[in-house]
Amino acid sequence: MSVLILALVAGAVTGLALGALGGGGSVLAVPALIYLLGFTPAAATSASLVVVTVTSATALSAHAREGTVRWRAGALFAAAGLIPAALGGAVSGLLPPAVLTGAFSLIAGIAAFRMLRPSAGGPDGVPARPGRITGAGAGLGAVTGVLGVGGGFLAVPALVNIVGLRMRAAVGTSLLVITVNSLAALLARAGTAQSLDWAVVAPFAGAAVLGAWDGKRLAARVSGGVLQRIFACALLGVAALMLLDVVL
């Protein structure tokens, strides 16, 4: 029973992050699955992809109704990451757990520092160069595949700093990118996903979906700058804890 409660609480927090911030779900889900629910790093990254795919698709529908999804830029960004995400998913199973955990903490820390840098993004709706979008999308897809993350914690800053979207539009658009990349990476790990403990993963995912709706309402009430700072601080904390675990 205690495992079920932990799964529900961790899932709710994951969904809240995805709904409010357009990312951060997997960067919270993976440590929760490892340290609270006893998953191995490989199983945790696969389970995280299941949770984040379902939750981000749900949150995307809500943001789409609000008009905060920039479909053209998001589709180009996501399409560029499809093949790298699938290849990364296949490579991930060959890496030692310590390498996966260390790389995960490093990427989370870099993303957090970038989010803390003042950047309002360009005027919303001004198209960025396709080459920059596809390059960033391909890199994000590779990270998604290898580390088992949806990539929202990298997609949001990329959509702000590279594509030039405002924070709220970046949050909504990142959910499109997360859904596509996570699904591609999950398909590449089909064999691993079949062996997951679904008695834990299913309630985790269900709670995350419900949490995403609350996160969407939170995003409508809190300024983009505040969300960005909360997001960055959460990433720094998780990155530090995971890196400490690898070192010790």
User: Which pLDDT tens digit goes with each residue over 108-164?
Assistant: 787 777 667 755 444 444 455 677 778 888 888 888 788 766 667 678 778 887 788
pLDDT greater than 90 at residue 204 = yes
Angle 145-86-45 from CA coordinates, rounded to 5° = 30
pLDDT greater than 50 at residue 99 = yes
Which DSSP string do the residues of the chain spell out, in sequence order? -HHHHHHHHHHHHHHHHHHHHS--HHHHHHHIIIIIT---HHHHHHHHHHHHHHHHHHHHHHHHHHT---HHHHHHHHHHTHHHHHHHHHHHTTS-HHHHHHHHHHHHHHHHHHHHS----S-TTPPPPHHHHHHHHHHHHHHHHHHT---HHHHHHHIIIII---HHHHHHHHHHHHHHHHHHHHHHTHHHHHTS-HHHHHHHHHHHHHHHHHHHHHHHHS-HHHHHHHHHHHHHHHHHHHHHHHH-
| CB 127, CB 244: distance < 8 Å | no
pLDDT higher for 11 or 229? 11
Structure tokens at 126: 């001004």
How far is 32 from 156, CA to CA, in rounded Å? 22
pLDDT of the residue at 240? 83
Percent of the chain topping pLDDT 70: 85
CA distances from 192 to 116, 142, 202 (A): 36, 18, 16
Mean pLDDT to the nearest integer, 98-104 = 81
pLDDT of the residue at 120? 47
What's the whole-model pTM score?
A: 0.75
> Closest by alpha carbon to 157, among 111, 213, 106?
111
How far is 190 from 89, CA to CA, in rounded Å? 10
How far is 145 from 230, CA to CA, in rounded Å? 26
Percent of the chain topping pLDDT 90: 4
